[in-house]
């Protein structure tokens, strides 16, 4: 509405230039605009043939990425308590011949050679050596749910990073459940790298970016975790994609049954060896469980370690039905960990409950009991920050997140996608209201104050009539930014002033070109309208050029000093959120005063009529109020942090779907081991926990 008022005054000829000045003004304006546009077009033409990073630079990028990946998975091993007090044994044997390729292909034997299988059996500490003995560098890791496939994949990545030479391939773990094979593997890997390591993203739309260069140069060793979680109808397409380049080193983890069904309808993974994880033995449990606690209980009138009666029964009565059921249930590292969490780490609980055959007649019943009791056991104590959430609240909130991931068909819990848990209609209304109300109020206030005495009976009536127009206009913004499925992505840059002289000049030049072009267009329209209505022309360039330059200056300063974050910087959801918040606030701080100054000068020039009726104090008030408010509304509507702030931090807690401190809750869930971190997103520690929450949106009776 402010712009419309400005345009109206210019079009009616209330602002005039000195006689004879119009041709010179237009000549200077057109010259500047054309020159800026030509400079921008030449710069784009020069960069129209993008070049991949040079070999040395790409090698350095790979080395920095290796540092970030190593730090991430070292921390994840600590968070998952894999070595507390010791790592559960993960052993494997060679996979059956029918699920792997011929050994002559795996070993890259020449035509006519007779070569037997490699010895690939081993244990957790030997995984890197086993992988490096495979000439094709292609491996499939098979095992049942909870058998330790992800743990083994993480250990493989860390061990390979320990022996990696500078410039060598970087092992990166990708949760492959969200891969739709419509996209090539290289495209999908590139997109995931850009998401988790923003510094690898292209800095311009016309360049490939370092992520694509790393993938194309073979400097990424993809470890694809969770092939079985890809929708069944996509298995064939995924295998065809993986076999399209049989020379590409890779590792794939999957449940054995699902992988067998997939290759039955297609073919084995070309040139890939295979290993299959073994179950835990009684000796493994007898060594691990007693070491997880020093708690004792009274049994048969004597104090004894809490696991001793259970293990004694399993050892002495192996054929007893309850022993068969319990040994079967605790045969995977996941269930052994859950049993440790529920009984070793929880005072007042006795594992003798597990010997109740009436309560737990099958291994599935034991597993369900351990999964249901996991969250109450984990959340029995407050977090290190002192926050304490009730287990039933935690269960409901996590179930809400599990349903969100199920609808999206992905295991990746991204903070910037939590906005999508809100219905689109509600999302549009909320974004439009939050952005539209303050903007509509300011526009209505200014419009009513400026025109209240001339167009309306009073200033108050002008405000009342103008506010709905401003709010309605901003609802259109809410409609545009809220209705799409894919919202804004987090910023991939941070502020850096030193060493940015050339980059700042280029960005300001680009914004100036667009500002002059836009201002010139607006000026032509204004003067054309004035000419049609018989008004004096020549004033349009003032408003149009001023508006274009103000927008160009605000946008240029908002992005002028931005530079990609470091590749070596550790990727995490909290860092991603913090960086995006800082970028958003910085844009408000930069664009707000700039827009305010531009609006103030424009109002003073247009409405003062030579300085008589509209004082500089009033104009400054207009700028101080309108600039920051409009900058806030723009940032709230167009940034990932703005959507997070409005929807995830306010609306979802108001509706009871998430806690008020969402970011603290998610970080705490990660610290407790409920969630795991993969780059810039979280995932549930295990898909079985996610499925349990989907099946039981509220706390099941008897689970606490």
Q: Are residues 148 and 190 in the same domain?
A: yes
Q: Are residues 291 and 252 in the same domain?
A: no
Q: What percent of the chain has pLDDT over 70?
A: 68
Choose between 203 and 183: higher pLDDT: 183
Choose between 136 and 547: higher pLDDT: 136
Q: Is the model's pLDDT at 520 over the cut of 80?
A: no
Assign 12 a pLDDT band (cuts: 50, 70, 90): very low
Residue-wise pLDDT for 263-301, tens only, equals 998 889 999 999 999 999 999 999 999 999 888 887 777
652 domain-assigned: no
End-of-domain residue from the set 354, 372, 390: 372
Residues in CB range of 455: below 8 A, 6 or more apart: 462
Largest CA distance in the chain: 111
SS3 562: strand
pLDDT of residue 168: 94
Q: Are residues 202 and 345 in the same domain?
A: no
CA separation for the pair 344, 307 (Å, rounded): 8
156, two tokens:
């493989």
Assign 3 a pLDDT band (cuts: 50, 70, 90): very low
Q: Is the model's pLDDT at 587 over the cut of 90?
A: no
Q: Are residues 249 and 148 in the same domain?
A: yes
End-of-domain residue from the set 246, 262, 277: 277
Arithmetic mean of pLDDT over the chain: 79
CA separation for the pair 564, 492 (Å, rounded): 6
Cα-flanking dihedrals φ and ψ of residue 610, to 5°?
95, 5
**Mean pLDDT, residues 678-704:** 81
End-of-domain residue from the set 330, 352, 372: 372
CA separation for the pair 649, 633 (Å, rounded): 17
pLDDT of residue 558: 58
Across 228-237, 253-262, 378-387, 577-586, least confident range: 378-387
Cα-flanking dihedrals φ and ψ of residue 349, to 5°?
-105, 140
pLDDT of residue 462: 53
Residue identified by tokens 């607006």 is 522
348 domain-assigned: yes
Q: Are residues 201 and 331 in the same domain?
A: no
Q: Are residues 71 and 143 in the same domain?
A: yes
Choose between 35 and 361: higher pLDDT: 361
Choose between 261 and 47: higher pLDDT: 261
258, two tokens:
């699902």
CA separation for the pair 598, 590 (Å, rounded): 13
pLDDT of residue 700: 55
Q: Is the model's pLDDT at 539 over the cut of 70?
A: no
Assign 567 a pLDDT band (cuts: 50, 70, 90): low
Q: Is the model's pLDDT at 117 over the cut of 80?
A: yes
Q: What percent of the chain has pLDDT over 90?
A: 42
Residue identified by tokens 């369900």 is 368
What total number of domains does the chain contain? 2
356, two tokens:
């109740």
pLDDT of residue 137: 96
Crossing angle of helices 424-451 and 616-638, in 10° steps, is 170
Residue-wise pLDDT for 630-647, tens only, equals 777 778 777 888 889 888
Decide if 52 contacts 216 (C-beta within 8 A): yes
**Mean pLDDT, residues 449-469:** 54
pLDDT of residue 129: 95
190, two tokens:
């590139």
583 domain-assigned: no
579 domain-assigned: no
Across 130-139, 187-196, 310-319, 636-645, least confident range: 636-645
Q: Are residues 201 and 149 in the same domain?
A: yes
Find the angle CA(339)-CA(344)-CA(347) to the nearest 5 degrees: 120
Q: Are residues 225 and 345 in the same domain?
A: no
Residue-wise pLDDT for 343-352, tens only, equals 998 888 899 9
SS3 363: helix
C-alpha distances in Å from residue 151, one per residue of 77, 95, 107, 162, 188: 8, 18, 26, 17, 23
Q: Is the model's pLDDT at 326 over the cut of 70?
A: yes
pLDDT of residue 626: 75
532 domain-assigned: no
Q: Are residues 151 and 299 in the same domain?
A: no
**Mean pLDDT, residues 79-95:** 86
Q: Are residues 223 and 147 in the same domain?
A: yes
Q: Is the model's pLDDT at 28 over the cut of 60?
A: no
Q: Is the model's pLDDT at 570 over the cut of 80?
A: no
CATH of the domain at 203: 3.40.50
CA separation for the pair 524, 58 (Å, rounded): 48
pLDDT of residue 634: 75
**Mean pLDDT, residues 514-519:** 62
CA separation for the pair 290, 539 (Å, rounded): 86
Q: Is the model's pLDDT at 690 over the cut of 90?
A: yes
Among 193-207, 352-366, 525-539, name the most confident range.
352-366
Beta-bridge partner residues of 683:
676
H-type helices in 297-383, by residue range?
308-316, 321-329, 333-339, 363-372, 374-378
Residue-wise pLDDT for 418-430, tens only, equals 988 888 778 777 7
Q: Is the model's pLDDT at 547 over the cut of 80?
A: no
Assign 1 a pLDDT band (cuts: 50, 70, 90): very low
pLDDT of residue 17: 43
Residues in CB range of 651: below 8 A, 6 or more apart: 422, 426, 430
For 569-627, the DSSP string reads SPP-HHHHHHHHHHHHHHHHHHHHHHHHHHHHHHHHHHHSTTTTSS-HHHHHHHHHHHH
Residues in CB range of 571: below 8 A, 6 or more apart: 68, 72, 196, 197, 198, 679, 680
532, two tokens:
């049609």
Which letter does DSSP use for residue 567 in this model? Answer: T
649, two tokens:
């931090």
Assign 5 a pLDDT band (cuts: 50, 70, 90): very low
Q: Is the model's pLDDT at 316 over the cut of 70?
A: yes
CA separation for the pair 94, 353 (Å, rounded): 37
Q: Are residues 273 and 288 in the same domain?
A: no
Q: Are residues 320 and 241 in the same domain?
A: no
Crossing angle of helices 2-11 and 573-607, in 10° steps, is 30
CA separation for the pair 668, 332 (Å, rounded): 26
479 domain-assigned: no
Choose between 591 and 96: higher pLDDT: 96
SS3 684: strand
Choose between 536 and 304: higher pLDDT: 304
Residue-wise pLDDT for 401-452, tens only, equals 999 999 988 899 999 999 888 887 787 777 777 766 666 666 666 655 555 4
657 domain-assigned: no
Residue identified by tokens 């070993």 is 107
Q: Is the model's pLDDT at 693 over the cut of 90?
A: yes
State the pairing for strand pair 91-94/273-277: antiparallel
Decide if 487 contacts 419 (C-beta within 8 A): yes
CA separation for the pair 354, 327 (Å, rounded): 11
Residue-wise pLDDT for 666-686, tens only, equals 999 999 989 998 888 999 988
Nearest to residue 365, comparing CAs of 317, 325, 401?
325
Q: Is the model's pLDDT at 48 over the cut of 50?
A: no
Assign 382 a pLDDT band (cuts: 50, 70, 90): confident
418 domain-assigned: no
Which letter does DSSP use for residue 88 in this model? Answer: P
Nearest to residue 95, comparing CAs of 260, 329, 262, 225?
260
**Mean pLDDT, residues 114-121:** 90
**Mean pLDDT, residues 568-580:** 78
pLDDT of residue 401: 96
Domain that holds residue 299: 282-372
Reduced to 3 DSSP states, what percent helix, strand and coil does the chain have, rounded to the nearest 5?
A: 60, 10, 30
Q: Is the model's pLDDT at 22 over the cut of 60?
A: no
């Amino acid at each position: 509405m402010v712009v419309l008022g400005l345009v109206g005054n210019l079009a009616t000829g209330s602002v005039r230039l000195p006689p004879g000045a119009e041709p010179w003004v237009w000549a200077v304006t057109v010259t500047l605009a054309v020159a800026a546009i030509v400079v921008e077009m030449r710069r784009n033409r020069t960069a129209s043939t993008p070049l991949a990073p040079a070999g040395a630079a790409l090698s350095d990028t790979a080395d920095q990425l290796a540092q970030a990946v190593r730090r991430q998975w070292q921390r994840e091993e600590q968070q998952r308590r894999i070595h507390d007090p010791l790592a559960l044994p993960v052993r494997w044997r060679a996979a059956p011949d029918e699920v792997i390729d011929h050994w002559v292909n795996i070993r890259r034997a020449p035509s006519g050679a007779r070569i037997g299988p490699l010895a690939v059996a081993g244990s957790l500490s030997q995984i890197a050596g086993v992988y490096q003995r495979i000439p094709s560098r292609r491996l499939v890791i098979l095992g049942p749910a909870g058998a330790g496939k992800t743990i083994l994949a993480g250990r493989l990545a860390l061990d390979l990073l320990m022996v990696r030479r500078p410039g060598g391939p970087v092992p990166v773990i990708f949760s492959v459940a969200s891969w739709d094979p419509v996209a090539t593997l290289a495209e999908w890997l590139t997109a995931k790298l850009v998401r988790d390591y923003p510094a690898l993203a292209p800095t311009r739309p016309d360049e490939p970016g370092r992520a694509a260069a790393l993938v194309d140069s073979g400097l990424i060793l993809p470890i694809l975790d969770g092939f079985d979680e890809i929708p069944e109808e996509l298995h064939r397409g995924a295998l065809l994609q993986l076999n399209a380049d049989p020379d590409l080193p890779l590792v794939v983890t999957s449940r054995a049954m699902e992988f067998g069904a997939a290759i039955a309808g297609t073919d084995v993974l070309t040139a890939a060896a295979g290993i299959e994880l073994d179950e835990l033995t009684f000796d493994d449990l007898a060594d691990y469980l007693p070491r997880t606690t020093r708690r004792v209980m009274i049994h048969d009138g004597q104090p004894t370690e809490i696991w001793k009666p259970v293990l004694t029964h399993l050892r002495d009565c192996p054929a007893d039905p309850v022993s068969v059921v319990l040994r079967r249930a605790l045969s995977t590292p996941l269930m052994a960990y859950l049993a440790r969490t529920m009984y070793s780490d929880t005072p007042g609980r006795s594992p003798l409950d597990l010997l109740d055959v009436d309560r737990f007649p099958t291994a599935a019943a034991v597993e369900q009991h351990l999964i249901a009791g996991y969250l109450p056991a984990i959340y029995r104590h407050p977090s290190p920050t002192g926050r304490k959430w009730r287990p039933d609240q935690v269960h409901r909130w996590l179930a809400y997140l599990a349903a969100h991931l199920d609808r999206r068909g992905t295991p990746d819990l991204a903070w910037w996608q939590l906005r999508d848990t809100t219905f689109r209609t509600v999302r549009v209304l909320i974004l439009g209201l939050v952005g539209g109300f303050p903007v509509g109020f300011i526009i209505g206030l200014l419009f009513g104050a400026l025109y209240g005495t001339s167009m309306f009976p009073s200033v108050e009536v002008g405000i009342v009539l103008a506010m709905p127009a401003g709010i309605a206009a901003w609802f259109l913004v809410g409609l545009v930014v809220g209705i799409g499925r894919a919202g804004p992505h987090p910023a991939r840059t941070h502020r850096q002033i030193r060493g940015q002289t050339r980059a700042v000049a280029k960005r300001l030049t680009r914004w100036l070109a667009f500002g002059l072009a836009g201002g010139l267009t607006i000026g032509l329209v204004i003067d054309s309208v004035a000419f049609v209505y018989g008004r004096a022309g020549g004033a349009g360039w003032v408003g149009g050029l001023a508006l274009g330059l103000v927008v160009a200056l605000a946008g240029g300063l908002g992005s002028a000093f931005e530079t990609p974050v470091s590749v070596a910087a550790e990727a995490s959801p909290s860092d991603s959120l913090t960086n995006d918040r800082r970028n958003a606030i910085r844009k408000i701080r930069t664009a707000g005063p700039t827009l305010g100054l531009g609006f103030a000068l424009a109002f003073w020039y247009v409405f003062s009529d030579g300085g008589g009726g509209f004082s500089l104090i009033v104009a400054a008030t207009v700028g101080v109020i309108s600039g920051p408010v409009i900058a806030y509304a723009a940032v709230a509507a167009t940034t990932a942090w703005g959507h997070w702030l409005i929807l995830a931090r306010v609306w979802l807690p108001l509706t009871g779907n998430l806690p008020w401190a969402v970011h603290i809750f998610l970080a705490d869930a990660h610290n407790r081991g409920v969630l795991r971190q993969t780059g810039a997103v979280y995932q549930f520690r295990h898909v079985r926990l996610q499925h349990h929450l989907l099946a039981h949106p509220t706390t099941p009776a008897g689970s606490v």
